[in-house]
Structure formats: C-alpha cells, structure tokens
Amino acid sequence: MCGIIGIASYKPVSVNIINSLKKLEYRGYDSAGIATIKKDLIDEKKCSGRVDELEKILFKTPSDGNIGIGHVRWATHGIPNLINAHPHSSESVSVVHNGIIENSDELKKNLLSKGLKFKSQTDTEVITILITEELKKNKPLVSVFKTLNKLKGSFALGIIFKDFPNIIIGARRGSPLAVGYSNKENYLGSDSYALKSMTNKISYLDDGELCVLSKNEVSFYDFSMKKINKKVHIVSNDENMAEKGDYKNFMSKEIFEQPITVKKCVNEYIDNLKKDINIFNFPIDPREIKKIYLIGCGTAYHSCLVTKYWIEELTNIDVETDIASEFRYRNLKFDKKNLYIFVSQSGETADTAAALDICKKNNVKTCSVINVIESTIARNSDWVLPIHAGPEIGVASTKAFLGQLIVLYILSLKLASVRGEITKDIYIKNIQNLITLPETIKSILKLESKIQMMAKEFINARGTMFLGRGSSFPIALEGALKLKELSYLHAEGYPAGEMKHGPLALIEEGLPVIVIAPKDKYYEKTLSNMQEVISRGGKIFLLTDNKKDALSENIRFGLRVPHLDNLLSGILLTVPLQLLAYHVALLKNCDIDKPRNLAKSVTVE
C-alpha cells in the first residue's frame, strides 16, 4: 500500500520524484523518502509525515543525481517514524519496497547470527542487507535475483546501486509495478497514475518479473532471468480529473462530480437510440450461467451485496457474495458454468487479485468491474467492465462506488434481458431511469445544507447505527463505513430486522440512528423497526424517497430524495450518506482525503 517512484535520466531527478510522490501520497502518507546517486555516494533523505516535509528538507539540502528512487509509506512492519521510513540503504545499495516479506524474521535472525546489523524494525531492511551481501560476489541483476529467491511474500521493489550509478532495478511479486518510457528518461512506479504526468507509454511487470532501467534503455527478465519483451500500452491522461480545483479536498470534488461521472458511465453502456445496453462478448452464454459469484473488499464488497439483490430480483440465477480475503482461503467447488465477478476500484487490491488468480488456475470464467483498465485485475480477467469514474484520489471511495453500482446494475439488466426474464417494456423503462440518474443525483447534492445541519448532531456522539432492509442493508453498511473512515466515529450497519437479535441493546437516550427506508416492499417493516429505536430513546435520522407520508414528530431529522425506481433507490440514498460522513469529519477537523491508518490502494494482504 506504499508508493514507489524511480527515475533514470540525463538530468537531476529529485524534483520530478517529489512531484510524483505527491501524486502517490494517497497510497501511503505516514513517512516519505528519496535516495539518489550523488558523486558515487547514496544520498538518502527521509522523514516521518507527509511529502511536504520531505520537500522542505530537500529545499534546505538539495539532492543531486540523475538516478533516484522515492517512496511514500503506509506502515506494516515498524511504527511510522524516521528510522522505519524508506528508502533503506547500506553503503552500496538503496531499496524502496511495497508489500510484506513473510519470512523476514527468519532471514533477519540468520543475518544477525552472521554479525550483520539492522537499524530499523522493517521487513524491507532484510532485502537491503541481502542484496548488499550478494553484491560482494555478483553484479546487480544476479544479486537481486538471488535475493528474491530467498524471499517469501509480496513485493514491488525499486533498487539503486552506488557502484552502478546508471541503473535502477525493479522487481514484482504480488504488488503492482509499472515502467514508463520517454526520451533519455525512463521511469519506475507502483502506480501508472504517477507516471502519466511524465509519459503515456507504459508497460506492466507480471509476477516474478524484473526490469533494469537506464536513461536510454529498459530491459525485462522473467523468473528464470531470461530476457523477455513487454507490450507498451498507450494510456489516457486524466490529469484534469486528478486536480482539486476550487474544492477544499478531493473527496468533496469527487462527491460533487458524481453527476458527470455517472453520466459518462451510463453513456458508455447505453445506446439511447436503440434503447439497449452495449454489453456483449460474455465469457459464458448468459442463458447457461448456473451461478454468479461477486467478490470484493470494503466498499467494493458492499457493491457486490447490493448487486446480489438486483440479480436475484431480475433473474433466476443463484448469486453468492464473498469478501476476497475469505474467498481465497475457502475450499471452493469451482464450476465452469459459474461466472466469477471481481470488483475493485484500483484493480490492484491484493486479496481480490489473489482470489482472481485462484479462479484462473481452476479454469473458470472471470469478469472484473474496475476503474483502472490497465490494472493487474483487469489484465488478468477474461472480461472487463470499466466504470469510467476517472482517478479517485480520496481514500474513502465515493464516485467509484456509484460507478461500480451502475455498471453492476446495467449488467444485471442485460443478463435479465438476454435470458428473457424481464419484459421488453420493463427493460426499456429501467434504461430510461438510468438516463435520468445524473440529473437526479444533481438534485440530491442540492440538499447539502440540510445534511450539514444533520452532521452537527454527531459531533459529541459516542457511536451511531445505520439500519436498512433489502438492498438498503448494504447501503447502511456503506454509510457506516464512510462515517468510520472519515470521522473515526464508531458506526455499524445492520439489517433493520435484526435489531431485536442483539443490536437493540446498544440503543440509549440520544444515540443517533440513521434509518434508510425507501418506499419499497420493506418500507412498513422498516418503519416498525424505527419505532423500536424511538421507544428506547434513539435519535432518528430518516432517509427516504417516499413523498406521501408525513415525517413523524419523533424523528430528529428527515430527508427525502427523489424516487426513480425501487431498484435504483440504493444508488440515490448513498449520496446523502457520503455528504453526512464528509460534513461530520469536517466539523471534527479530520483529514478528509487521508484518514488515519488507511490507504487507498490495499496491495498487501
């Protein structure tokens, strides 16, 4: 979950490394560092905290050198401090690392027994010392290769060498790594997004591969050290979508650009003239699909849960949802008539990528619903459905969640249509509802001032609860997750019908409880559950799309959103929950874009 950048150039690289690290900071922000080769010495500078602090250090004592590596860290081994910050350097080598070395304790014990010294608590320093020892006998590529053979776990590495001051070596196992190309300058990055400001020509390392960069050349090697060729991808530049503009932070920008991104996504998949959905080339004939598995982590998993309700409502297909970190360790019975759908914003989520790999090894058909089409998960899937949300920088996902929901809803409709399980009239009506969705979301965003008033009620709360039934239950889970991520307030989502089976014990005088109650078949039962909360002193915040019923005087706040269709109510009711979490966090002076202990792209197990 850390960020890596490496540049081999004909000119000093430190300024470009810092600029790239700023773009990668959403991947890790507890410490930062840079190392360059300066007059045959490794010039390492690092700090605890953000890239801005590192930039101040470099302003006072600049780092020269035409070869360099940089890093932003999300701590795994060792507390966030200066000593544990990357790079980790010896006299002859400097290493930046994303991932976890699972046998680091064993390796470290062996190295200590030989009299070698460690400065940090990290697993990464083991790599530095192993390569340093190998360099006494071998050249850099062989030294790295021999070191990698001793490592268990996942890694993306960037490595520079004092005595070979013109090269950077990169290596990948499990964690993503990309290479960028330019004139007299080549790049290494854990994220293609950080490279796009410098080049649109990018290659991606696969597991077990290494690369050697100089300013004029890039060479690739497989796990047996055989030289290989890699495809060069021409990627789009979304720089304009990755700038804050006049917004306070990326999250508010990403919430308020949802009408635009939703419209773009809908337009990509809907043929307005034919009133049809442009999804073709299914890896399995939809009429022969026996079961669908939906797999994701965090917010992406919540989109899977919502989709289960949709597919079951629209088709006769059995649906199972799985958290990726659980799926990969289950004793599964794979079936070639099943379709396995993986959902991930970054396309690099470690557990999701590992679960996909298991499916590939069992020769079943896979689909990915993804935001980054050049990502590992996208490249390894049989079928890719992009969400077209553009770069999402805020750690807490907003527009990508809506994008996932929309693509999965569109897929659900198409499956039902191809299988002949909904009528043509219902199919066309649902497509029309999708077309009007962006304007409807725009109208909900105008409710922000009311939601700001609601947010004040959460400042002194000890915790809160989100309740929903049917497809509103996963929306409750997502609302609770957003509030947890952003405001650090304890929040839980529950099925409203489960209140009497334990959670009711948590209700006390003044406890804020958000009730999500669209006008669907669960509406009356949800209101009954709400009364159970009211009678025990809970403070109700009701979100609904029902225009008819008067809001009860026992409700602290009521918020109505427009009604489109029962199946789409979850998408619409998500937006107020995003704004609520945002404004509670703002009032509590929390770091909106970079919540504590979290990182955007979770590339370790």
* Active-site residue set: 2, 600
Measured N-to-C along each axis, helices 569-587 and 399-418 cross at an angle, to the nearest 10 degrees, of 170
Backbone angles phi, psi at 544, to 5 degrees: -150, 165
One-letter amino acid at 251 equals: M
- Up-side HSE of residue 178: CA atoms within 13 Å toward CB? 24
DSSP assignment string, 572-605: HHHHHHHHHHHHHHHHTT--SSS-TT--SS----
How far is residue 282's CA from residue 302's CA, in Å, rounded to a whole number?
24
Collapse the DSSP code of 527 into the 3-class scheme (helix H, G, I; strand E, B; otherwise coil) and give the result: helix
Between β-strands 338-344 and 210-213, what pairing exists: parallel, antiparallel or unpaired?
Answer: unpaired
Cβ atoms within 10 Å, residue 163: 12
Contact 294/398 with Cβ under 8 angstroms? no
How far is residue 414's CA from residue 356's CA, in Å, rounded to a whole number?
23
> What are residue 384's DSSP bridge partners?
368
Cβ atoms within 10 Å, residue 588: 14
Backbone angles phi, psi at 256, to 5 degrees: -80, -15
Collapse the DSSP code of 211 into the 3-class scheme (helix H, G, I; strand E, B; otherwise coil) and give the result: strand
Contact 559/576 with Cβ under 8 angstroms? yes
How far is residue 605's CA from residue 596's CA, in Å, rounded to a whole number?
19
How far is residue 61's CA from residue 42's CA, in Å, rounded to a whole number?
14
Q: Classify residue 64 as left (phi > 0), alpha (psi -120 to 50) or beta.
A: beta
Which residue is it, tokens 């060498």? 161
Comparing CA positions, the residue from 310, 533, 489, 563 lying closest to residue 412 is 310
Cβ atoms within 10 Å, residue 409: 25
Q: Which structure tokens are listed for 186?
A: 């080549």
One-letter amino acid at 49 equals: G
Radius of gyration of the chain (CA): 25
Residues with Cβ < 8 Å from 511, sequence gap 6 or more? 461, 462, 463, 464, 465, 537, 538, 539
Measured N-to-C along each axis, helices 472-487 and 569-587 cross at an angle, to the nearest 10 degrees, of 20
